[in-house]
Structures are given as structure tokens and as C-alpha cells.
Structure 1
């Protein structure tokens, strides 16, 4: 029997390994022929995809900004790839791939299952540029995904926003998954018998204000005075965003012993194993943050915001603490609570792993995605 050809479309090719690698393996095990489409594959990423049994295809894409001519060219390239490879179903994720490949596939009458992995800067920022981009994206979403067979969300807040902004209608078919899932075998659990205040807090994210790194730093300045043995680790690097943290400031804080700045790291698992509490005070429109899922699996207590995508990862006083977004006092007090009650590190950590196993196991997520894909194909 001929295999169903599925095209997974991404804006950043390494994410096909880090975020979708287990999904691709599951699809291949379920006898799909998997194609991927992304710009600028590193040689290693292509090799990894080929070794899995996937077929990587390239197309040009400007990941940021809007240039109508380049965007049209991206759509036409995607359309050509779909037609040449006789794709049966398209599965895009992140903003531009969802919009552009939906338009391309709809022109060819190929079913699309779009995955909304968070709404990002344009639905978070309050600057004039962010508001303009928000309006443009709303228009593009509305005119691309309404014809899709299914739209999958990672949290119900994003779906509500799509309904409120009339991007989707109640008649559009939608479903939900618990983020991208986490591989429980890769991020192994380790019990942490913490009883002292030399607690290591870990922040991992892009170093932009929307992710809450400045709030984390301010909390570190306050808490380091009262608890000199505590540590505040930061992994990540500033980018070209106007809200990026100044690298000189980070290096100065590191030199002063207030934070421990690691820069960008490829061995985040090791840092998770060597930490006590994971902190992400983001107010960015997340889907479900992958970094939190990895921390849950390892068995770290979580301190994060009561905001879309994040609130799904924490049960209050079970595996962590939810705080109000953009609230410095709330963050500092949450971290202070753990320092004053170090026994919570072990209790919350055990519960984090249990929560990851019951809700965010990558096998649970991928099995549901494949079931949804097969349902769409069977109704074609």
C-alpha cells in the first residue's frame, strides 16, 4: 500500500529535530512518508533528518519582517514543492509557515492541519510596530487558515483570541494538544533532597524583556543579599529585538557575582539536572514553553506566569507557583518562598515529573496528533 505523504513546514530547520524529531519518528513508524520544508538547513540537520528516514526540502523564507514580493515567492515555492512531490497532507507550524503553506496548499486543494505554537511578539508587544504587525497577521491568518481541515492549538487562550478577532469562526474545526510534548527518557527524573538555602534558580530563554529576564535579574539582586549562597543562572543570548537585554550589563552582573551567565548552551539537560528551581516569568504569547516541559520532566519546581501557555504547566502549590505577569514583587516573593521553604524543592519536583508523565509525555502528544491526521485523511 502506498504511504501517505506528509509535508511538515518550519521556519527554522533545527526546530525539526529539537521540537519535532520525536513526531517525525512517530509518523515514520506509522508508515507515513515524511517530507520537511524549511530554509537554510545546516548539514547536520539534513543528515539527522535523512537518518530518520525523512526527506528534507528547501525553500526561501524571510523569518522576520514583511516583504510582499519575497512572501509571494515563498508561497509559490511551497506550492511547487507540494505539487512536485505529490504531497497528500500539509502540517505547518509557527506563523509564516502556517500562513504561507496554507495558502499554497489550498491553491492545490491539499488538506492542511495547522499547528498554532504560540502567537509571539506581534500579539505581545504594545509598540506601534507590534500593533501594525498584529493587524497584518490577523488579516493573513484569516485569509489562509479558515479553509484548513483542522487547526490545532496548544492552549485554549489562543483559540479564544482567534475567535474574538474573528480569525476563525465557531464552525472551523479545531483541537488541542499539550504543547510539543517532552521525551521522558531523554529528560530523566532525578529526586532532589534539598534542605538548605544554596538553591540554584535557572532561567532559560531568549534574552528579551518579554521573556522576563529583567525581572529575574532584579529578583536576583534582592535575594542575593539575604541569601548569599543562592545562585541565579541564566542561559540564552540577546538577539536583534529592540527589547533584548544588554550583553555588557549581563557580563557586569556575572562579574559582580549576582548572576551566573552561561550564554547560549547546547547541553541544557545538564544544567537542568544541576539546578533546583526553573523560573520563566514570561509575558510573551507562548504556546506551551518547551523549556518548562523539559524542566518538569527532570523534576524541577516551576515558577512562571499565570498567562497563556504557561498556566497549563503549573498546579499551584503542587509543582510550583504561578505569578501575575510583569509583576516584580510577585516573582521575588515566589522565589523567596522557595528559599524560606527549601523542603518544597523535593515535593514540587516529584509532582512536576508526575505532571509531565500524565499530561506532557511526547508519546501521548504525538499519538493524538497522528490520530487527528488520520481522521482528516480518512475524511478527504
Structure 2
């Protein structure tokens, strides 16, 4: 390592996000710094090869990012502590809850000069009243407050202002904290290129993990309502069904897999071909998003959108009435979702116009180069 290069350690809870969400940022970082990644095991060969080609040093772990596992969490903390002691990074960049909570505490203990935890959404921890998740939310809040205790080394990154204000209102952070808001993860407009949406055979695409708070049931039920009037309309769903605490119930999953209402595609490595073949991208989420990546990808490719008037999601709809790119609907409102779907069916020109407006809005606000420039400044690397 030359004298002017810094060591940057990135920690995440899923290897799938490294290139999909952070690929361009990693490319920016490796240009002038030595980059290390602490990630759950990488199963995708192309991710391994790309990181290797970028000279990123990878350390794998067995963290279960979306599940509760005390043993694996403790093992993760110990491994991270030893790794930080070995690498001695100048900058520690964790994102998502477990790496942020555990990683920030460990990095603080090891006195890393610059710690930049990024909260990519607060999930159901601040919104859901479900009893079975309440105790998890309570523990998460307590741990988050402890890990983010204010000091000059910690610079907290949010993906929307609502999340920042919610943590302030909850007393988790205060005026002494260094906090910054960026426009989500950004989207690479050279990779997600514009294509003309299909308006003759209209199809609605949802990209999401199969969890309740993402609005999977609402999408399914709205699709049923629309197909009663318009049986030729297509509905597609991309996303993994796993052991998440908020996973949809098995009966709904079985109905989705039957293919009678929705074509279930499952998890894919590249969503671009599916967005290209879709007319409209839908995400009726009330999860507590940062800024939903799938909506940004749809906008970048010129797709009109429907999403909820909820934290993170509302950021993706242009407030300018002169350049509408989609619709905001109330959360958990199936009839409103179906009505907006029918609007596009009955006004197919809006699919084209809203899609073009969405591409422009993505350029103005969510270009990954703009977001990364802000990130490097926060990390004191520019």
C-alpha cells in the first residue's frame, strides 16, 4: 500500500448486494484505495470473479442476515474483531442492520478513524405492531442506540430523510450525531438503459423478497381483481421465498406458485431482461425502505411505476405534476392498487410518457455517480 492510499473495509449481510447495489462504489474506491470486503459466503461465481478482477480482498463469514441466530451472530462479532485487528482499516463501511449494529460497536472498540454505517431502510422495526416481531424490533432499537452512540469517528448515512427524522424522534440519535442523507444506492444509467415499454400486451412486474411488508399479498389480490376485467393482462413476480421472520404464509406462496394469477419467476441474478419485457413496475411496500432499488431500476429503463406512499418509496415519485412518473397509493390498499393498474390499462400512452419522465427523474436525482460522489465525501475520500 502506497502512503496516500487508505484501507477501506466494507461489511454487508448478503453477498448478492456487493455488485448489485455497491458495484460502482467499489470501483470508485479501488481506484485510489485498498478495499476489503467482509461478507457472507459468495455463491455467485461472477461476483467472485469481478471482485477478484478489482483486486478486492474478500473475507467470508456465516452471518444469517435476515434470520435470528445468536450463535452465528456471536461468531460474526468475534471474526470481525480479529479481522479489523489484522487489517487495521482507515475507514469502515457497514450497511444493513446486523453489520451496522455489530460492526459499528467493534469498529469503535478498535478505534477506527472513520466509521460510516449506512442504514438502507429501517424495515418493520419502527412501523409494524405485530406481536411476534415486536420483541425483535425492541431489541434492534436498543442495540442500534448503543451502537450509534455519538462520537467524532461515526458518520451515519441514511437513504431518506424520513429515516433520519424517525431515529431522532425515537431518541436513538440526536443533534450531536454526524448524519448525512444520500439518494438511495443510486442506479447505473449506463447499465440500466432505456427501452420502449410494451403497451399492446401490458404486464406488471414486482421485484421483491416474498415478505408481507413488501406488499406481496396486495399485489396478488390486486392482480386477481384486474384479471376479472382484463384476463389478458400479465402479472409477474421476481424474488426469493426464505425463512425471514416476515415471510408470507405458505398458503399464499402456494397460490402464487400455481401460476393461475401471477407468473412466479423466483430469484434471478439479472432483473434487466424482465424489466425490459414489463410495461409497469410495481412495489406496494410498507416495509420501511431506504429507497427501493427495484423502482430505481425500472425508472432507469423507462418504466412507469406504482408504489406506496410510505417511507423510501415516496422518494421515487417525482413531486412535479408536470413530469409524473408514477402513482403513490395508500399502504395495504388493494382496491387503490388495482385502480392504478387499470389506469395504465385504459391510458396506455401514460405508460410511455410516465416511463420517459421516470428516466429523466432518475438522471436528475438517482444517478449512481451523483450518489457515489456524496458517499466518497462522507468517507472523507474526496
| TM-score grouping bracket, smaller chain normalisation | over 0.9
Match of 1:128 in 2: 131
Q: Does 1:179 align with 2:180?
A: no
How many residues are matched?
Answer: 370
Given that residues 59 and 78 in structure 1 are in contact (C-alpha distance below 8 angstroms), is that contact kept between their aligned partners in structure 2?
no
Q: Deviation of residue 14 (structure 1)?
A: 2.4
* DSSP-derived class of the 2:294 partner: helix
Higher mean C-alpha deviation, range 303-312 or range 16-25: 16-25
The 1:86–1:210 alpha-carbon spacing in structure 2 relative to 1, beyond 3 Å, is same
Local SS of the residue matching 2:295 = helix
TM-score, normalised by the number of residues in structure 2? 0.92
- Distance, in Å, in 2 between the alignment partners of 1:19 and 1:210 is 21
Partner of residue 80 from structure 1, selected from 82, 88, 93: 82
Deviation digits for residues 310-339 of structure 1, max 9, x if unmatched? Answer: 000012560000011111121111111111
Measured in 2, the distance between the counterparts of 1:293 and 1:132 equals 32
CA contact (8 A) 1:75 1:103 kept: no
Structure 1: how far apart are the matches of 2:249 and 2:281? 20
Match of 2:141 in 1: 138
What residue in structure 2 maps to residue 330 of structure 1? 336
Aligned pairs for 1:17-166 (under 5 A) are 17-29=19-31, 31-42=32-43, 44=45, 45-66=47-68, 70-110=72-112, 111-146=114-149, 147=151, 148-166=153-171
Distance 2:288 2:48 in 1: 30
Provide the residue aligned with 1:244 in structure 2. Answer: 248
Task: Name the structure 1 match of 2:355.
Answer: 349
Q: Deviations over 1:330-357 (max 9, x none)?
A: 1111111111111101110000100111
Match of 2:18 in 1: 16
TM-score by length of 1: 0.92
Do 1:278 and 1:301's aligned partners in 2 also have CA atoms closer than 8 Å? yes
Q: Is the 8 A contact 2:198 2:279 kept in 1?
A: no
CA shift for structure 1 position 224: 1.3
Can you give the 5+ residue segments of structure 2 that lack an aligned partner in the other structure?
none
Residue 346 and residue 127 in structure 1: after superposition, are their counterparts in 2 closer, same or farther (change >3 A)? same
Q: Once the 2 structures are TM-superposed, how far is the Cα of residue 77 of structure 1 from its aligned partner? A: 1.8
Quote the offset at 1:66 in angstroms: 4.7
Distance 1:64 1:344, change over 3 A: closer
Q: Please report how far the alpha carbon of residue 286 of structure 1 lies from its aligned counterpart in structure 2 after TM superposition.
A: 0.7
Separation in structure 1 between the aligned mates of residue 211 and residue 343 of structure 2, nearest angstrom: 26
Q: Does 1:371 align with 2:377?
A: yes
Q: What is aligned with 2:366?
A: 360
Cα distance per residue 1:226-261 (max 9 Å; x no partner): 222221111223222454253321133x1x3x3222
Q: Is 1:235–1:265's contact at 8 Å kept on the other side of the alignment? A: yes
CA contact (8 A) 1:233 1:259 kept: yes
How far is 1:169 from its partner?
0.8
Is 1:267 the counterpart of 2:267? The answer is no
Matched residues in 2 for 1:86 and 1:358: separation?
38
